[in-house]
Amino acid sequence: MPSSGAGYVLRFAVDAAFLDRYPVQQVGSSVHRECWVPAEDLEAFNDHIAGTIAIVAEYPEPPSVRS
């Protein structure tokens, strides 16, 4: 049974000094690492995003991208 809905991979920059307070966790292989920011800190996290947010991948991919 196929999945429903969509998912997105985003690229954006966040102020490094702000991120230093959160632990970096390995998720999956050793090249997959992410900062774990608690939900109650998301507003502050959003305030520290610098520049633009870019969609770099979409799942399922749009029909024009699928082979």
5 domain residue, yes or no: no
31 domain residue, yes or no: yes
pLDDT of residue 1: 45
47 domain residue, yes or no: yes
DSSP label at residue 49? E
Q: Per-residue pLDDT tens for 8-33?
A: 999 999 999 999 999 999 988 888 88
Question: What b/e string do you get for 14-51 counting C-beta neighbours within 10 Å, with b at 16 or more?
Answer: beeebeeeeeeeeeeeeeeeeeebeeeeeeebeeeeee
Please say if the pLDDT value at position 45 is more than 50.
yes
CB 12 within 8 A of CB 51: yes
Domain containing residue 42 = 14-51
Give the pLDDT band of residue 2 (cuts 50, 70, 90). low
pLDDT of residue 8: 92
Please say if the pLDDT value at position 64 is more than 70.
no
